[in-house]
Amino acid sequence: MALQEAGDLIAGKYETLSLLGVGGLGEVYLCRDTETNVNVAIKRLKNDITVPTSVIEQTQREAKILSSIRHRNIIRIIDVGLDKKGFYFILEFVDGPSLAELIAEGPLPVDIVLNLASQALEGLGAAHRKNLLHLDIKPANLMLHLYPNTDFTVKILDFGVAKLAEEAAQQVGEDEETFGSIFYISPEQLCQKPFDTRADIYSIGHVFYHSLTGQIAWPQLRDPADLVNAHLYTPPTPIGQLVDGVDLELCDWIYWLLAKDPNDRPATAQDALITLTKIILRLKRAENPSYFSDDYQSPEEAQTPTSKAIRVNEKSSPKDKLLNFFKKK
């Protein structure tokens, strides 16, 4: 039985429209704010999951911090609440596919991966600067929204709810949702060692690897125990063995994110982004020098990959290439 029915009113003003999806931990609904007429998503935990008051309070605090960021690459948590049907989140609604849906069809074009990686790192860095960790970065938690005649925007889902998800996962056991995370989880999390923002950097590195190759870093492995061992001791399968023609510096950049020792990874998402930006600019310059203006600045000077230093050719925008990619499928 569904946790919500069409027409149900949540928090006195959110009208339930339809069910968007069902996961191991709960259900997600499309709802309408009856005061503003804006659509939102409401994520409910299964009603047989109990959440300690301390975890609810922690999640509420993190949701408040997260809502203050208002970063374009993070799906905003509007509110969290508890009613007779259980715990729920009210989220910004994004009308678009998850990255998991896209890479299920195969590897993405390199330029699309570069674009989504830049955006994802920007969102990750914004949260990290507020001392918020995600701790469950995976393709299902990244969504892409396409805007008419412009570009696509990457949105990171479920920031600030890691502790709650951990509590819930312990109660429902190992299911598709919790199992899916084991492909991307950091070695320090698996060993229950102290961790910091570099755990998220490791996880997002695996997301970029999967996006580029269409496969996890150890394609032959599926047993959880084998995957744990691989995260701890086994280098990823060389990207060149899975897909042809990928720039070697880009491959090395991904391997940098996937270092077993946190001290061997980028110290911050910004560090990873600056290095990625250098790679992007070099590739674009090699492809077409007219992309660059005369007043080109280095990534350190520009401080952002969206600097005016890059002049984008509208005829080959990422959106067009993404749409063309889907047409071929």
User: What residues are annotated to the active site?
Assistant: 136
CB of 164 closer than 8 Å to CB of 170: no
Please spell the DSSP secondary structure of 15-46, one letter per residue.
EEEEEEEE-SSEEEEEEEETTT--EEEEEEE-
Q: CA-based diameter of the chain, in Å?
A: 62
Tokens of 54: 């301390």
Write the DSSP assignment of 99-118 as a string of letters.
Answer: HHHHHTT-PPPHHHHHHHHH
SS3 274: helix
Question: 45: closest CA among 135, 164, 178?
Answer: 164
Q: Which of 172, 166, 216, 224 is nearest to 195 (CA)?
A: 166
Nearest to 240 by CA among 107, 329, 118, 101: 107
- Report d(CA 35, CA 13) in Å as an integer: 7
Q: Which amino acid is at 329?
A: K
